[in-house]
Amino acid sequence: MTDLDIQEQVSLQTYNTLAVDVTTRWFVAVRTNEQLCSALQFVKTQQCPLLLLGGGSNVVLTDDFSGLTVLIQTQGVHVEQQSDTRVLLSVAAGENWHDTVMYSVKQGWYGLENLALIPGSVGAAPIQNIGAYGVELTQCLEYLEAIDIDTQTLQRFDRDACQFAYRDSIFKHALKDKVVITRVVFTLSTTPVWSLDYPALQQALGGYDKAQLSSEQVAQAVIAIRQSKLPDPALIPNAGSFFKNPIVDIALYQELREQYPQLVAYAVDEGRYKLAAGWLLDNAGWKGRWLNRIAMHDKQALVLTNPHKQSGKALLAFVDTVIDDIQRVYGVQLEIEPRIYGNDTQSMC
């Protein structure tokens, strides 16, 4: 068993982007898969809960944690295969997501550019099938590897096995708390595969000749748009979009459209529509609104901000008020996107 530098009673405030101050009983940063296995062995021996963290940008921590928090910091990027048209890029779970996107666009590869500036680690990206500007991780994932927490065996999951859906995957359901993702292999194209339909992106790239466009230019446009409306977690603690965009049936969509002609919504399939949760919140007066020193962001109502570093419980109380209000105004139930960790939700391994 590899030696581990396990610390006791560590604050997690700097390890989650909402800057919530909870204490973990044990804490360890792992830089190799061997260290990761030793950490899993520790959890088994102690029979304590396990909390995996990458960038901590999609979690809400509501209580002190009684187990081991494992910060995934494994490193390594290499080309697994390359042809004239396609590159398979293997990236360790602890690598930074945005750095990976920028590395790929600098090589002149296409596929990840719309996903620039999403915070967090590569290993967490498949958990919610990260998406932005019309592209989801699933479109570029060849396969991933994960260690089974119970048996500590390495398993391989191809795209189908991950059961990706809108901000969703098997890792939020049947495999929740069952595996640690250790490596993600991306399939990237050496020729353009654009997804430039989102209005903001179209506007930003309006002056460009599409035939001359590079993936790096698209990534830079995405970065500029994001910087103009999303708060930097290092300056204003937040976890990105706090709610998923609700998917509703056509009857409710039509009812709402009649009442609110400006409603922002997109057809998902013949019978269902995706409502822009940011619009619902903005129109109900939540953009920039403060309550108990917590606020919805003044440039994007979907982003809950925690400038005064309030507790996770205070954040959830605020969120309950928002959810109730949206239900009252539109008859729509908002669903929280980040994962909540508290005494009620700790899992034993």
Kindly tell me which residue out of 198, 298, 340, 349 binds ligand NAP, with binding defined by CB under 6 A. 198
- CA–CA gap between residue 251 and residue 238 (Å, rounded): 34
The minimum distance between CB 283 and ligand NAP, in angstroms, equals 13
User: Should residue 184 be labelled a site residue for ligand FAD when binding is judged by CB under 6 A?
Assistant: no
Q: Is the dihedral of CA 227, 228, 234, 240 positive or negative?
A: negative
Kindly tell me which residue out of 89, 112, 127, 144 binds ligand FAD, with binding defined by CB under 6 A. 127
Tell me whether residue 92 or residue 326 sits nearer to ligand FAD (CB atom). Answer: 92
Whole-Å CA distances, 146 to 77, 128, 207, 321: 16, 15, 43, 38
Kindly tell me which residue out of 54, 240, 246, 312 binds ligand NAP, with binding defined by CB under 6 A. 240
Kindly tell me which residue out of 4, 10, 12, 17 binds ligand FAD, with binding defined by CB under 6 A. 17
Q: Restricting to residues 127-166, which ones interact with ligand NAP according to CB under 6 A?
A: 131-134
Q: Restricting to residues 301-320, which ones interact with ligand NAP according to CB under 6 A?
A: 302
User: Should residue 264 be labelled a site residue for ligand NAP when binding is judged by CB under 6 A?
Assistant: yes
Q: Which residues are catalytic?
A: 167, 241, 337
- CA–CA gap between residue 238 and residue 220 (Å, rounded): 22
User: Should residue 72 be labelled a site residue for ligand FAD when binding is judged by CB under 6 A?
Assistant: yes
The minimum distance between CB 109 and ligand FAD, in angstroms, equals 20
Helix (H, G, I), strand (E, B) or coil at 295: strand
User: Should residue 53 be labelled a site residue for ligand FAD when binding is judged by CB under 6 A?
Assistant: yes
H or E stretch at 326: helix 312-330
Q: Which residue is nearest to ligand NAP (CB)?
A: 240
The minimum distance between CB 45 and ligand FAD, in angstroms, equals 21
The minimum distance between CB 243 and ligand FAD, in angstroms, equals 12
Whole-Å CA distances, 48 to 41, 59, 88, 138, 327: 11, 20, 38, 33, 38
For residues 91 and 76, is the Cβ–Cβ distance under 8 A?
A: yes
User: Should residue 121 be labelled a site residue for ligand NAP when binding is judged by CB under 6 A?
Assistant: no
Among 9, 10, 14, 21, residue whose Cα is nearest residue 62: 21
- CA–CA gap between residue 265 and residue 246 (Å, rounded): 10
The minimum distance between CB 196 and ligand NAP, in angstroms, equals 10
Furthest C-alpha separation in the chain: 64
Q: Restricting to residues 233-262, which ones interact with ligand FAD according to CB under 6 A?
A: 233, 238-240
Q: Pattern of binders to ligand FAD over 82-121, x per CB under 6 A?
A: -----------x------------------------xxxx
User: Should residue 300 be labelled a site residue for ligand NAP when binding is judged by CB under 6 A?
Assistant: yes
Residue partners of 238: CB distance under 8 A and separation at least 6: 17, 18, 231, 297, 303, 304, 305, 306
Q: Pattern of binders to ligand NAP over 211-230, x per CB under 6 A?
A: ------------------xx
User: Should residue 16 be labelled a site residue for ligand NAP when binding is judged by CB under 6 A?
Assistant: no
For residues 156 and 143, is the Cβ–Cβ distance under 8 A?
A: yes
**163 Rama class: left (phi>0) / alpha (psi -120 to 50) / beta:** left
Burial class (CB in 10 A: 0-12, 13-18, 19+), 173: exposed
Point out which residues bind ligand NAP (CB under 6 A). Answer: 131-134, 197-200, 229-230, 240-241, 245, 264, 266, 276, 278, 300, 302, 337
